[in-house]
Amino acid sequence: DSGVTQTPKHLITATGQRVTLRCSPRSGDLSVYWYQQSLDQGLQFLIQYYNGEERAKGNILERFSAQQFPDLHSELNLSSLELGDSALYFCASSPSGKGGPGEKLFFGSGTQLSVL
């Protein structure tokens, strides 16, 4: 158990809909990261938040947005969903997010999103 909690574990929805994925980081971790994993693209970094502020951005679509709340949990919002958005979405957390050499990322078990 990594200590990172993601809900829901599975989500089935239709094209054009909007969903929200939730992540609770490990106790004390200030940084949250979101990743998307699909069969053809592998693990792709989407976005990082540190203590409530956006820190780094990756290949995140404009239809996707995220935020980190004062209690440090994070939500990833996916809107106008398309079939190609079907994927596993992982959240990870780390103590500081400054990328020090030994800083580890701890990943949750993911949310499997299926867009039908």
Partner 1 sequence: DAKTTQPNSMESNEEEPVHLPCNHSTISGTDYIHWYRQLPSQGPEYVIHGLTSNVNNRMASLAIAEDRKSSTLILHRATLRDAAVYYCILRDRAGGTSYGKLTFGQGTILTVHP
**Residues interacting with partner 1, by CB under 8 A?**
2, 4, 31, 33, 35, 42-45, 48, 50, 55-56, 58, 90, 92, 94, 96-110
* Contact between residue 103 and residue 96 where contact means Cβ atoms under 8 Å apart: yes
CB of 64 to partner 1, least distance (A): 16
- Is the CB of 2 or the CB of 20 nearer to partner 1? 2
Report the nearest approach of partner 1 to the CB of residue 32 (Å).
Answer: 10
Would you state the structure tokens that stand for residue 28, as one six-digit string? 């004390």
> Between 2 and 79, whose beta carbon lies closer to partner 1?
2
Pairing of strands 19-24, 74-78: antiparallel
